[in-house]
A and B are shown apart, each in its own frame.
Chain A
């Protein structure tokens, strides 16, 4: 490695460390005014969406279903007591999926840490196992080839659906990206596409990570806190709702898909074969 590259890399690493340290310190020192936005003009705790979600546990839903039948859950007036209503506006988070709103909105900084952990571990795999002349791949059989042709678009589409609809249906960036990586694994086994695109995968992954951090900085500039939701909430249940959760999950999904695909590619082809 050249000395200039080393100095440049150290400089950027120090810069990133200083930024992360500043934000952690700022979160510690922060008044609750500029932190997470709760719903405006809400003194009453029972008006918050998160409380309705928190009351909706498994046991309660099951007993309600056993005692009063399925109409209880479909009834509008009683649905207001047990959970958020489809199409309601001015909610606190706006996501129909509680897990997603917590993972990307309430604790988005932790999610940034998780993504960083995955990034570093995949970099470690690439350092250990990267090689351009790995072992020859075996020729796939007819069953694998044909199944690959018909199954691959469906798997990719399901993965993209899972992370684009992360704020509406179960799932999100991490499982969606993993499903896409599974499709890439099938492509690796069935199309004999071993040596393609390792560097391209790294570029995609880094760009998606930069977009994630850029979204965080946009929240910092517009609303005053890092990774704060700065887009309108919309109505619960529509595709363009819940602010930037869909944006963040698209970035995370692309990033996780590229990372795991690169890791699987390195493990499959890399290393010395003896």
Chain B
């Protein structure tokens, strides 16, 4: 039962953060929301007994990809154009 509640919480976090990343106008916030998606996904992988994938997802998705997107946003405009 606790595992089910944990799954539902992680699903909710992933879906809400992904929708926020799509609909927000500020690209820096969108990048941080994508990092939150990767972090929740890595916790989900760990709960589902896949620690290898969890480590890779946390290192690649939450850290390096977020940093590269932040550098890309720094080179371009922060606000999304209409």
Binding site for B on A (CB under 8 A): 58, 61, 97, 99-100, 162, 170-172, 174-175, 178-179, 181-182, 185, 260, 264, 267-268, 271, 273
For residue B54, which residue of chain A has the nearest CB?
Answer: A170
Is there an interface contact between A264 and B67, defined as CB atoms closer than 8 Å?
yes
- CB <8 Å contact, B59 and A185: no
CB pair B64 A170 closer than 8 Å:
no
Scan residues 30-80 of chain B and give those whose CB is less than 8 A from a CB of chain A: 48-49, 51-52, 54-56, 59-60, 63-64, 67-68, 71-72, 75
Report whether A264 and B60 are in contact in the complex, using a CB–CB cutoff of 8 Å.
no
Contacts of B63 in A (CB 8 A): 178-179, 182, 185
Which residues on the A side are within 8 Å of B60 (C-beta)?
175, 178
A selection of 6 A-B contacts at a CB cut-off of 8 Å is A170-B52, A175-B59, A179-B59, A182-B67, A264-B68, A268-B71
Across the A-B interface, the 5 shortest Cβ-Cβ residue pairs: A170-B51, A178-B59, A175-B55, A182-B63, A175-B56
CB distance from A130 to the nearest CB of B (A): 15
Which residue of B is nearest A272, CB measured?
A: B75
Q: Which residue of B lies closest to A181 (CB)?
A: B64
Could you list 20 further interchain pairs (A-B, Cβ under 8 angstroms) beyond the known A172-B52, A267-B68?
A: A99-B52, A170-B52, A170-B55, A171-B51, A174-B56, A175-B52, A175-B55, A175-B59, A178-B56, A178-B59, A178-B60, A178-B64, A182-B64, A182-B67, A185-B63, A260-B64, A264-B64, A264-B68, A267-B71, A273-B75
Cα A165 to Cα B7 in complex, Å, equals: 30
Residues in B neighbouring A162, C-beta threshold 8 A: 55
Q: In the complex where A175-B60, A178-B63, A267-B71 touch, is A61 in contact with B49 (Cβ < 8 A)?
A: yes
Q: What is the CA–CA distance of A172 and B55 in the complex, to the nearest angstrom?
A: 9
* Chain B residues with CB under 8 A of A268: 71
Is the pair B49, A58 in contact by a Cβ cutoff of 8 Å?
yes
- Taking CB atoms, residues of chain A closer than 8 Å to B49 are 58, 61
Partner of B48, one of A58, A100, A171, A172: A58
Residue in chain B with minimal CB distance to A267: B71
Is there an interface contact between B56 and A185, defined as CB atoms closer than 8 Å? no
Tell me the bound Cα distance from A268 to B70 in angstroms: 10
CB-defined contacts of A181 to chain B, threshold 8 Å: 64
CB neighbours of B64 from chain A (8 A): 178, 181-182, 185, 260, 264
Report how far A260 CA is from B60 CA in the complex, Å: 10
Contacts of A170 in B (CB 8 A): 51-52, 54-55
Which of B49, B55, B60, B68 has the most CB atoms of chain A within a 10 A radius of its CB? Answer: B55
